[in-house]
Amino acid sequence: MSVQVDQLTATQKRIAITVPQAEVKKKVDDAFKRYAGKINLPGFRRGHIPRNIIEARFGKQIRSEVASDLMNFKFREAVVDVEYLGQPEVETAADLLDTADFSFAIKVQVKPSVQVSDYTGVKVDFPLAVVSDEQVEAQIRGKLGGAARLVAVEEDRPVQMGDLVLTEIAVADKVIESGTMVNTQGDRYYPGVDALVLGLSKGGSTTGNITFGANAPAQALRGQSHEVRVTVHGIQVSKVPDLSDDVATELGFEGGVEAMRAALRMQEESAANEAARNQARVNLLQVLLGRHTIEVPPAMVDSHLQLLLEELRIQAAYRGRDPRSLRYSEAQMADLRERAAFAARSSMLLDAVAKAESIVITDDDLEAKYQEIADMRGQRKEAIKGYFAKDNAVEELRKRLSEERTLDWLLERAELVTTEQKSEEAAPESLTVTVAPEAPAAAEDAPVKKKKAAKKKADAAE
């Protein structure tokens, strides 16, 4: 077999392969023998069908399968030392004949060679995040809101918006729900009943039409609309506790209200500083990418785009939204692709700087990261290591750690120009910097495609 590799562009190579005629003939002969032992034709015993008969009936199909097998097998042999991206593309392929060599050419996408220079001493805007008293108070309100409790309304008053109402629901004078709680801000089990109970007092009742939701307890009525009689048995409201030293202690802040404020301010400042540092990283990458022309292989952009879309699906699931319902306009997809291209170019630039400065991630660094993830998740380090090893994600983890360390190395050697701004403005949503990876959520998260799963697990962006 002869192999010729040509560099077509900075991101594309052609691999031309020629298989000798003798090997081609043997492959074709073996294929015809296998078919002869499998096919049934009237008037012939299996395995004794003349080759010319098989040639006439199945020759085209057999040669097509042999050609496909040869291209797959010989391509894998030829690209042992070629790190390609995406799906190979067959450029040309000769007809497969017993009497001639078989030649074909395949184009692949590759990472371009990136030469970096002038990457230290870069002027970088570093926003100094400021935490306001309003932000701290908002955090306090959030903590108090999380400690809210349902309490019964004792005074004689009608149902108001925001109340939870204990009701009895009857259809045609038959009680179907004797004690169901209705949310006046929109009830998912009984759409329409929330409007009926507004203005009723305890013991009051009214009639009206409602629709029984798909998950309503009354299974026989699900999806149906009926006239119902609704009776109010009780009214409850969500009561937020007043801020006090005792409440602060109950919420886990030893030392009362002032200790709570101090702790929450510290949390806000920590988050603000991390957001400011992350924004400085983005600013640094933007400056460096402006100094270097880096052509990005389309397959690499596609890979980063899929990772970004997967991250958005995970975020949607955390918010309680079905990830399958996500839809993006053309403008949104264009913006996401631009982010993916930025991430791909950044990855290549950081890799080039790491090589130039001999920045490497050792096995000890990996062990430390495994331990960090294990501590964060309350799991054993061996379990975390097993997750990464199982899905072939160790090298992807090493790569992401290298990018993070290189980015921090560059930031330490940059000329930081500090500007004051509010912390909530510190990290815009338009750009994302890939840094520390996260471990798989569970051992049973088995991937369909190992390589793609490895990237998902090692590419989780902060």
Residue at a domain's end among 58, 81, 110: 110
The distance of Cα 303 from the centroid of its chain, to the nearest Å, equals 11
Distance CA 320, CA 88 (A): 39
Q: What CATH number should be reported for the domain holding residue 87?
A: 3.30.70.1050
* Amino acid (1-letter code) at residue 377: R
Token digits of residue 133: 């008293």
Q: Mark whether 284 and 426 lie in a shared domain.
A: yes
Q: Mark whether 225 and 301 lie in a shared domain.
A: no
Which string of DSSP letters, residue by residue, matches 114-131? ----S-SS-EEEEEEEE-
- The answer to whether residue 417 is domain-embedded is yes
Q: Mark whether 185 and 293 lie in a shared domain.
A: no
| Amino acid 315: pLDDT | 87
| Amino acid 452: pLDDT | 42
Distance CA 296, CA 381 (A): 36
Q: Mark whether 414 and 388 lie in a shared domain.
A: yes
Q: What CATH number should be reported for the domain holding residue 235?
A: 3.10.50.40
Residue at a domain's end among 190, 213, 239: 239
Q: Mark whether 127 and 158 lie in a shared domain.
A: no
| Amino acid 345: pLDDT | 94
- The answer to whether residue 320 is domain-embedded is yes
Q: Mark whether 343 and 298 lie in a shared domain.
A: yes
pLDDT tens across the length of the chain (462 residues):
888 999 999 999 999 999 999 999 999 989 888 888 887 777 777 777 888 888 888 888 988 999 999 999 999 988 888 888 889 999 988 888 888 999 999 999 999 989 999 999 999 998 887 888 999 999 999 999 888 888 888 888 999 998 899 999 888 878 887 888 888 888 878 888 888 999 999 999 999 988 888 777 777 788 888 888 999 999 999 888 999 999 899 888 988 899 999 999 999 999 988 888 999 999 999 999 999 999 999 999 999 999 899 889 988 888 888 888 889 999 999 999 999 999 999 999 999 999 999 999 999 999 999 999 999 888 999 999 998 888 788 988 999 999 999 999 999 999 988 876 544 433 334 333 433 333 333 333 333 333 444 444 444 333
Q: Mark whether 161 and 86 lie in a shared domain.
A: no
- The answer to whether residue 325 is domain-embedded is yes
Distances (CA, A) of 33 to 30, 36, 55, 64, 315: 5, 5, 11, 16, 56
Residue at a domain's end among 183, 216, 239: 239
Q: Mark whether 76 and 183 lie in a shared domain.
A: no
Q: How many domains does the chain have?
A: 3
Q: Are 107 and 91 in contact (CB under 8 A)?
A: yes
- The answer to whether residue 105 is domain-embedded is yes
- The answer to whether residue 257 is domain-embedded is no
Q: Mark whether 209 and 318 lie in a shared domain.
A: no
Give this prediction's pTM.
0.65
| Amino acid 283: pLDDT | 93
- The answer to whether residue 314 is domain-embedded is yes
Q: Mark whether 342 and 309 lie in a shared domain.
A: yes
Could you list the residue range(s) of the whole structural domain that residue 383 is in? 123-131+273-458
- The answer to whether residue 324 is domain-embedded is yes
| Amino acid 437: pLDDT | 37
383 CB-near residues (< 8 Å, 6+ apart):
374, 443
Q: Mark whether 175 and 37 lie in a shared domain.
A: no
Token digits of residue 272: 């603000």
Q: What CATH number should be reported for the domain holding residue 307?
A: 1.10.3120.10
- The answer to whether residue 74 is domain-embedded is yes
146 CB-near residues (< 8 Å, 6+ apart):
none
- 3-state percent breakdown (helix, strand, coil) of the chain, nearest 5: 45, 20, 35
Q: Mark whether 315 and 437 lie in a shared domain.
A: yes
